[in-house]
Structure 1
Amino acid sequence: MRSDTLTMPTPEMRRAMADAELGDDVFGEDPTINRLQESAAAAVGKEAGLFVASGTMGNLLGILAQVPAGKELIADDQSHVFLYEGAGTATLGGIQVRPLTTERGVMTRSQVEAAFRPKNDYHQPLTGGVTIENTHTALASGATPAEVAAPADTVTFCVSKGLGAPVGSILCGPAEVIDRAARWRKMVGGGWREAGVLAAGGLQALEKGVDHLATDHANARTLAEGLSELPGVRIDLDRVQTNLVIFELTSMPAEQFLKACAERGLKGGGGNGRVRFVTRYGITAADVQRALEVCTEVLAG
């Protein structure tokens, strides 16, 4: 339960990858990649899509294609773009990130408006963009992915996490922006050749992977409710809205708890005194019950 990156491709997905129709994507001639890009863009209500190696690459290309060097990007101070992407925006794009401290990663309109730099002060960088991150709450909230993505100029989403493909993300947005992003992708070494073998997995993920997300959310809710009944666990059930279960411990350090759980076969993640468990494809209701048994045993000492 460390991460939903640990999903494995289904047998059906493996067959689709083996049988994929291929071409050279640098020339735009891989039909499977083209279908994936078109399907992904349609799913989130955008004009065009670009298949890339990872979410980090998708984020980077989306920013580089829209924010000029010397400008500033507003982001949450715990966001992936700010903390976990190797300062790519600064290193490759000359773009400064302005981090905002938020409640649960949600930037308010007033926070963003206050963070915009004045245009008449030559001492300060101009604001060039705003980046927002979220888990796959489209299913949990009842909104469609297109409705969730509608306010954004571009959107990146991953097919290799909860959706179950082995690799890849898609950057979607206006055709003009995606064309600029494709140029940046080439510059950072991200041009594909016959990568339809990977895109076929992504197509299967889009078509079939969504079906199990509701199960992932239900398993996370069961896990969270079970944890809430254990002594020494502090968890806000209102915050468990998707497949991520994050909690604190009052009886032992999080690192000690995670080590003891791992010794019993339950692997989780965490940091800053918190523990995170993630439900995903391949995690069953029985696995959730076993996880609760392990947590009970560890907390009992």
Structure 2
Amino acid sequence: MIDLRSDTVTKPTPGMLQAMLQAEVGDDVYKEDPSANALEARMAEMFGKPAALFFPTGSMANQAAIKLHTQSGEQLICDKYAHVYNYEGGGVSFNSGVSCKLLDGTQGKITAAQVEAAINPPDFYHSPLTSLVCLENTTNKGGGACYDLETIDEIRAVCDKHGLGLHLDGARLMNAIVAKGQDPKEFGKRFDTLTVCFSKGLGTPIGTVLIGDQELMDNAIRVRKVLGGGMRQIGYMAAACLYALDHHVERLAADHQKAKEIGDLLESLPQVTKVSPVETNIVIFHVKDEAGFSKAMAARNIIISNMGQGALRVVTHLDYTDTMHADFLQVLRETLS
């Protein structure tokens, strides 16, 4: 089977499993887990922020950040494709009592002009008070697109002008950093809070770290507890994340190269009607006969994602081998020529 639904389907490597078995652990509710503490300190230092906190999932970390930035009845601004709106179970409203103003960006990316135009006048009490802007890098439904730092700078300036918080859903932030050759601290100095997920391209079973400014992060552990995220010997998972930082970051470039080769091939095939630009490890495309193509994939034991409205997605990852890649390219040639 070739599973290209997501980069979340990976299994821990032997080296990662060994690191987990050897982890030094303690009770994290008491903040006595040395491996978790080491991971949090390393991530804070990596992004140039004063504090970080381990969460079991990216959704919980994003939801905690939104809670830290907002009050019930307020509003955040995000792209219409944003994960915090589409894929977190309505947590924005359920957990924080906050609504979303959705912007029609490009590949999941929004601009400073769009953000400024979407801010509700703070003295117009008939509308929700705008208090937060959420960006996503890379963009999931946007096909793995990456923000330019210049665009983020412009959005940061708008947030500062209007007193808004700025949060980054960095589920695949390491993919963007590798693809663009960026320094993590460039993101740390631009965002009030940001997340980094380890269970996607970095290949761990679970784990996301929320990183941020001290005044926000002072209450993060309380919010995590309220959301059910108080954990005990999480050092086994933190050790997996530490191993991923040492061994699985630079290799993301290989995933990006495979995705680009898939995208280039799709562009050349007559049965393909559209291919979104490929920047990282996600390829979104459309075909003339979606039902027929899906049937052909199933017959070859290849699994991909249907994103709706004719959009199909493949995601390259740690467990997608060179042999699988060669086989998949050949199947695409046979079925879409």
When normalised by structure 2's length, the TM-score is: 0.85
Q: What's the counterpart of residue 295 of structure 2? A: 259
1:265 CA drift (Å) = 1.6
State how far apart, in whole Å, the 1-side matches of 2:186 and 2:206 are. 25
State how far apart, in whole Å, the 1-side matches of 2:183 and 2:295 are. 39
Q: What's the counterpart of residue 182 of structure 1? A: 221
3-state SS, counterpart of residue 52 of structure 2: strand
1:291 CA drift (Å) = 0.8
Asked if the contact 1:262–1:268 (Cα under 8 Å) also holds between the matched residues in 2, the reply is no
Q: Find the partner of 1:131 among 112, 129, 134.
A: 134
Asked if the contact 2:275–2:286 (Cα under 8 Å) also holds between the matched residues in 1, the reply is no
State how far apart, in whole Å, the 2-side matches of 1:109 and 1:115 are. 10
Asked if the contact 1:233–1:247 (Cα under 8 Å) also holds between the matched residues in 2, the reply is yes
Q: Does 1:245 align with 2:277?
A: no
Judge which range, 212-221 or 148-157, deviates more: 148-157
State how far apart, in whole Å, the 2-side matches of 1:23 and 1:48 are. 20
When normalised by structure 1's length, the TM-score is: 0.95
Tell me: CA distance 1:107–1:191, structure 2 relative to 1, closer, same or farther (3 Å).
same
Aligned positions, number: 297
Asked if the contact 1:219–1:284 (Cα under 8 Å) also holds between the matched residues in 2, the reply is no
Q: What is the letter of the counterpart of residue 320 of structure 2?
A: I
Q: Does 1:54 align with 2:57?
A: yes
State how far apart, in whole Å, the 1-side matches of 2:275 and 2:330 are. 20
State how far apart, in whole Å, the 2-side matches of 1:92 and 1:221 are. 38
Q: Deviations over 1:81-136 (max 9, x none)?
A: 01111111211211111111111111111000001110121101110100000122
Q: What's the counterpart of residue 84 of structure 2? A: 81
Matches for 1:228-239 after TM superposition, within 5 Å:
228-236=267-275, 239=277
Q: Does 1:268 align with 2:304?
A: yes
1:43 CA drift (Å) = 2.0
Matches for 1:141-220 after TM superposition, within 5 Å:
141-220=180-259
Q: What's the counterpart of residue 101 of structure 1? A: 104
Judge which range, 176-185 or 28-37, deviates more: 176-185
3-state SS, counterpart of residue 211 of structure 1: coil
Judge which range, 226-235 or 51-60, deviates more: 226-235
Q: Deviations over 1:155-177 (max 9, x none)?
A: 01100110111111010001231
Judge which range, 150-159 or 24-33, deviates more: 150-159
Tell me: CA distance 1:87–1:279, structure 2 relative to 1, closer, same or farther (3 Å).
same
Let me know the Cα RMSD of the aligned residues.
1.4
State how far apart, in whole Å, the 1-side matches of 2:268 and 2:330 are. 12
Q: Does 1:287 align with 2:324?
A: yes
Q: What is the letter of the counterpart of residue 328 of structure 2?
A: A
Q: Deviations over 1:133-167 (max 9, x none)?
A: 01221111111222234311100110011011111
Q: Deviations over 1:253-292 (max 9, x none)?
A: 2x44233202202111122201111111121233222112
Q: Does 1:224 align with 2:266?
A: no
Asked if the contact 2:266–2:275 (Cα under 8 Å) also holds between the matched residues in 1, the reply is no
State how far apart, in whole Å, the 1-side matches of 2:273 and 2:187 are. 30
Asked if the contact 1:224–1:235 (Cα under 8 Å) also holds between the matched residues in 2, the reply is no
State how far apart, in whole Å, the 2-side matches of 1:78 and 1:85 are. 12
Identity, % of aligned positions: 42
Judge which range, 80-89 or 222-231, deviates more: 222-231
